[in-house]
Amino acid sequence: MIAKRVEETINKQINAELWSAYLYLSMSAYYSSIGLSGFANWMRIQWQEEVSHALKFFDYLVERGGAPILTTIADVPKKWDGPLAAFEEVQKHEAHVTSLINNLMDVAIEEKDHATKSMLQWYVDEQVEEEANAQTIVDNLRLVGGKGDGLLLLDRELKLRVFVDATLKAKA
């Protein structure tokens, strides 16, 4: 059985992952509305990733005898002051998610829940990648001034991203 405190914190993380998914889907709609289909694609892939992260937590709770509890997802922003501003929010949000994962790891350590610590290590590593990816795109947007030919080239590059469910590899 999983400790109640760990279960409650994971349930909060499930909500946070689903909120993240909504945020990225909202950003996808925003980028589509301003004609940046590559950015919209990147965000839609990010939406899929966040849903898969939530499901990994959900399945973990079930496997450990816990009860996933789905709660209301708060509203997400719908508009940004340009492509750079939206990605700066991604960067800030991923840093926030890292803090949530670190807090969850702290709870697992305090509860001496080695199984949860082991599962969470994947998320710790994933967040390093998430923050680095967001930073790279923010840096690129700043380099091109968030507009012009550079923005269009970056949009084309982001259009190439495809969804690969990394959580499936983590189970193997």
- Spatial separation of the C-alpha atoms in residues 47 and 18, rounded to whole Å: 9
Cβ proximity of 155 and 133 under 8 Å: no
Mean pLDDT of the chain: 95
Domain annotation for the chain: domains and CATH numbers: 4-171 (1.20.1260.10)
Neighbours of 172 (CB within 10 A): 4
CB 84 within 8 A of CB 28: no
Residue 172 has pLDDT above 60, yes or no: no
Q: To the nearest 10°, the Cα dihedral for 160, 127, 93, 16? A: 110
Percent of the chain with pLDDT over 70: 98
For 90-123, the pLDDT digits (tens) are 999 999 999 999 999 999 999 999 999 999 999 9
Gap between the Cα atoms of 155 and 137, Å rounded:
10
The answer to whether 130 touches 94, Cβ cutoff 8 Å, is yes
37: pLDDT confidence band, cut at 50, 70 and 90? very high
Q: pLDDT tens digit string along 44-60?
A: 999 999 999 999 999 99
